[in-house]
């Protein structure tokens, strides 16, 4: 009997020892107050951090934790870093960068001609979905918590080889100046505005403090201190649980806000804005005063299409922010053309302006859900890509308001029921914004218009899918189906496929969007792919914008016969010269369907390319500088 008691006691002691070992074996994160070389997390101004929310809201915490909002900014730990810190030397802008790691610590060694190499700690990361950027500590007492950006980012695109690439090459930025761009202090001045929660910049001393890295619970729900304090009382918690309709005044829930207020919560980051002068001044010290549930307009002016729909308004805006600021962000009619600023697009949509607050329409939450619903059949991986609600990839998204259309969708779209042409958003939310090396859906809900394509250069929904059709073809159908008066078209616009005009003669933004559309499955299915290679080839060979070259090669690899073609879009121009010949050789050997041998695609019936027209269009290319500030 005595032996049994001894055995049981020993068993308990062993269990305690194991638990302690596990607990102590986890390396602790440094006490934030001791950290001097990067922005630090502090619990101030009513912020309590997501860790506090987890115990009562495990589902919401778990879905947020798996989202890309959380990983927007992280401390550079082995769990967060996805890049291959291989210790190889890479050059950019006349400097050398060697990225390596010692155990759990990451570093960059920067070499400059005539200077000793300087090794800096990598302390923070940005992003994880498509790419990840790395920030090193300036480690200069005069610069406070200032960070510098390693000008190499790690590309993490699905179905593509993971690789290091110069940071400027991941954006559609002016290739002449981009490699020499210095980003010291960029995070502390700009990125922190939206890539962290509850930021207090203290910009004069660069003493950046924040409630939490990444976009966390309190970005959208507001500071949680009062809510946590009140609901420590279990009787109040259960009272709330049992009274589902009860309104909780201690915290903001964007799902229960009216659609416009709820959309402003997203709009605090997903828009382009100017702060009011008072806000601008105080923001540099204590951060933005906007909190979820506030009226965004009281501290900022969100810039959108309605601010530039007349010459006079546009001229005033140009005076305030500069022409280049607008050109880098908007199509000429004021529609947003860069990704991540969807709220600036949404607010110009009739669905938003004429929404029905009782029906909770229309706002961001009409289609998106920031916490994957319990029991949803979608995997976390599918959901977190664009955080759409269940069924919102179908016409259900639009039919929740336009119920009267549900029985007559094919009649309205003139496309076969269930086809990609019968999906509302393919016509009303085409991929006309650019970001993250791809085309992204416009969030200004609009109707296809050839006139707008002519005025702004923006691809219209019809020609962004029917890549083999001309603007005249589209204008004819819009007239026949919807009575839209056709605009006057030039001979090339009448005879040559719109996609070819844009990809050969358009500006870098148009080229990027059209090249991306050539890899978009619904467009490939309806337009065929056999004819596309000769039009992607010149982009891959000579386009000065690395992002355009990247998109062109990505689309080319989706075309049968080109999947394994050897090509590096960041190779020296001389090394890229051969790609044109290679692509033409493969293309000539492939069997081009008769349907693709037509004048509108610059291909004669025997399958030869109309080189003279092709060359002439290339010469008319719009080489105006494009710098899309996504």
Partner 1 sequence: MSQNRITGKTRIVHRHLRFGWWSLLCFLSLGIALETMHGFKMGYYLDTNNETRRLMWTLAHTHGTLLSIVHLVFASTLRILPQENSKLQRLASPCLCGASILMPGGFFLGGLIFYGGDPGIGILLLPVGALLLLLAVSQTAMSLGQLGEKSAQKAQGKTEEAASPNQ
Is residue 55 involved in binding partner 1 (CB under 8 A)?
A: yes
Comparing CB distances to partner 1, the nearer of 56 and 297 is 56
Q: How many alpha carbons fall within 13 Å on the CB side of residue 172? A: 31
Largest CA distance in the chain: 102
Shortest gap between Cβ of 370 and partner 1 (angstroms)? 14
Is residue 59 involved in binding partner 1 (CB under 8 A)?
A: yes
> How many residues of this chain interact with partner 1, rule: CB under 8 A?
15
In Å, how far are 273, 280, 358, 549 from 320, measured between CA atoms? 12, 14, 37, 34
Shortest gap between Cβ of 238 and partner 1 (angstroms)? 7
Shortest gap between Cβ of 55 and partner 1 (angstroms)? 5
Question: Which residue stretch of 54-62, 252-260, 273-281, 600-608 sits at the interface with partner 1 (rule: CB under 8 A)?
Answer: 54-62
Quick count: other Cβ atoms within 10 Å of Cβ 447? 13
Interaction residues for partner 1, span 337-376 (CB under 8 A): 374
Comparing CB distances to partner 1, the nearer of 216 and 339 is 216
β-strands 89-92, 95-102 pairing:
antiparallel
For residues 268 and 290, is the Cβ–Cβ distance under 8 A? yes
Is residue 57 involved in binding partner 1 (CB under 8 A)?
A: yes
Residue 459 DSSP symbol: P
Binding mask 94-133 for partner 1 (x = CB under 8 A): ----------------------------------------
For residues 439 and 516, is the Cβ–Cβ distance under 8 A? yes
Please calculate the CA angle 49-50-54 and round it to the nearest 5 degrees.
Answer: 135
Interaction residues for partner 1, span 420-449 (CB under 8 A): none
The candidate with the shortest Cα–Cα distance to 467, out of 503, 432, 435, is: 503
Residue from the set 12, 238, 481, 482 that interacts with partner 1 by CB under 8 A: 238
Q: Which helix (H) or strand (E) holds 95?
A: strand 95-102
Residue from the set 10, 56, 236, 320 that interacts with partner 1 by CB under 8 A: 56
Comparing CB distances to partner 1, the nearer of 55 and 606 is 55
Residue from the set 4, 6, 22, 242 that interacts with partner 1 by CB under 8 A: 242
Question: Which residue stretch of 3-11, 51-59, 448-456, 472-480 sits at the interface with partner 1 (rule: CB under 8 A)?
Answer: 51-59
Question: Which residue stretch of 48-56, 135-143, 218-226, 381-389 sits at the interface with partner 1 (rule: CB under 8 A)?
Answer: 48-56
The candidate with the shortest Cα–Cα distance to 617, out of 501, 516, 536, is: 501
DSSP 514-580: HHHHTT-HHHHHHH-STTTHHHHHHHHHH-S-HHHHHHHHHHHTTSTT-TT----TTS-HHHHTHHH
Shortest gap between Cβ of 233 and partner 1 (angstroms)? 12
Residue from the set 241, 247, 521, 572 that interacts with partner 1 by CB under 8 A: 241
Shortest gap between Cβ of 56 and partner 1 (angstroms)? 4
Residue 247 has which token pair?
Answer: 């309104």
Question: Which residue stretch of 57-65, 116-124, 218-226, 314-322 sits at the interface with partner 1 (rule: CB under 8 A)?
Answer: 57-65
Is residue 60 involved in binding partner 1 (CB under 8 A)?
A: yes
Comparing CB distances to partner 1, the nearer of 88 and 237 is 237
- With left for phi above 0 and alpha for psi between -120 and 50, is residue 331 left, alpha or beta? beta
Shortest gap between Cβ of 319 and partner 1 (angstroms)? 51
Shortest gap between Cβ of 164 and partner 1 (angstroms)? 34
53: Cβ contacts below 8 Å, ≥ 6 apart:
60, 61, 217, 224
Please calculate the CA angle 85-28-380 and round it to the nearest 5 degrees.
Answer: 65
Q: Which residues would be at the binding site for partner 1 (CB under 8 A)? A: 54-60, 62-63, 234, 237-238, 241-242, 374
């Amino acid at each position: 009997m005595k032996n049994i008691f001894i055995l049981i006691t020993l068993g308990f002691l062993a269990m305690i020892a194991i638990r302690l070992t596990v607990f102590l074996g986890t390396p602790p994160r440094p006490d934030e107050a001791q950290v001097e070389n990067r922005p630090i997390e502090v619990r101030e101004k009513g912020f309590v951090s997501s860790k506090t929310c987890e115990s009562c809201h495990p589902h919401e915490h778990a879905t947020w934790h798996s989202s890309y909002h959380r990983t927007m900014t992280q401390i550079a730990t082995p769990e967060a870093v996805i890049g291959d810190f291989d210790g190889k030397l890479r050059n950019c802008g006349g400097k050398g960068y060697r990225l390596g790691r010692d155990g759990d610590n990451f570093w960059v060694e920067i070499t400059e001609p005539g200077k000793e190499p300087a090794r800096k700690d990598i302390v923070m990361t940005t992003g994880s979905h498509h790419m990840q950027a790395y920030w090193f500590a300036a480690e200069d007492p005069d610069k406070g918590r200032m960070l510098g950006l390693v000008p190499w980012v790690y590309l993490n695109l699905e179905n593509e080889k993971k690789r290091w690439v110069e940071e400027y090459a991941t954006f559609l930025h002016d290739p002449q100046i981009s490699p020499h761009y210095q980003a010291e202090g960029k995070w502390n001045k700009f990125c922190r505005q939206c890539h962290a929660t509850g930021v207090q910049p203290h910009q004069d001393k660069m003493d950046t403090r924040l409630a939490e890295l990444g976009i966390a619970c309190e970005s959208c729900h507001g500071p949680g201190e009062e809510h946590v304090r009140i609901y420590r009382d279990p009787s109040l918690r259960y009272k709330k649980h049992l009274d589902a309709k009860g309104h909780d005044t201690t915290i903001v829930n964007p799902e229960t806000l009216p659609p416009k207020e709820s959309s402003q919560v997203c709009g605090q980051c997903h828009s382009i804005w100017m702060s009011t002068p008072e806000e601008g001044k105080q923001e540099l010290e204590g951060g933005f005063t906007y909190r979820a549930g506030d009226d965004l307009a009281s501290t900022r002016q969100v810039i959108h299409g309605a601010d530039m729909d007349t010459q006079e308004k546009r001229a005033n805006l140009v005076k305030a922010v500069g022409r280049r600021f607008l050109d880098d962000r908007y199509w000429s009619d004021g529609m947003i053309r860069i990704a991540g600023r969807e709220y600036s697009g949404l607010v110009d949509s009739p669905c938003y302006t004429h929404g029905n607050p009782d029906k909770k329409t229309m706002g961001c939450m009409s289609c998106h859900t920031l916490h994957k619903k319990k029991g949803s059949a979608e995997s976390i991986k599918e959901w977190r890509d664009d955080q759409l609600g269940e069924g919102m990839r179908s016409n259900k998204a639009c039919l929740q308001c336009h119920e009267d259309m549900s029985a007559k969708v094919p009649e309205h779209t003139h496309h076969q029921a269930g086809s990609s042409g019968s999906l509302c958003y393919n016509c009303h939310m085409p991929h006309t914004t650019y970001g993250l090396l791809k085309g992204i859906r416009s969030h200004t809900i609009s109707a296809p218009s050839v006139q707008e394509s002519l005025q702004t250069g923006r691809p219209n929904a019809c020609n962004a899918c029917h890549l083999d059709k001309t603007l005249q073809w589209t204008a004819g159908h819009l007239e026949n189906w919807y009575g839209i008066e056709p605009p006057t078209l030039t001979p090339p616009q009448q005879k040559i496929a719109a996609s070819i005009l844009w990809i050969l003669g358009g500006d870098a933004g148009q080229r990027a969007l059209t090249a991306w559309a050539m890899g978009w499955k619904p467009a490939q299915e309806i337009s065929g792919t056999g004819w596309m290679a000769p039009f992607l080839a010149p982009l891959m060979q000579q386009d000065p914008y690395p992002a355009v070259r990247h998109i062109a090669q990505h689309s080319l690899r989706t075309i049968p016969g080109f999947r394994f073609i050897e090509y590096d879009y960041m190779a020296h121009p001389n090394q890229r010269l051969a790609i044109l010949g290679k692509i033409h050789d493969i293309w000539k050997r492939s069997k081009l369907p008769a349907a693709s041998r037509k004048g509108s695609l610059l291909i004669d019936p025997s399958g030869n390319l109309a080189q003279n027209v092709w060359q002439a269009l290339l010469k008319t290319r719009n080489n105006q500088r494009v710098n899309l500030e996504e």
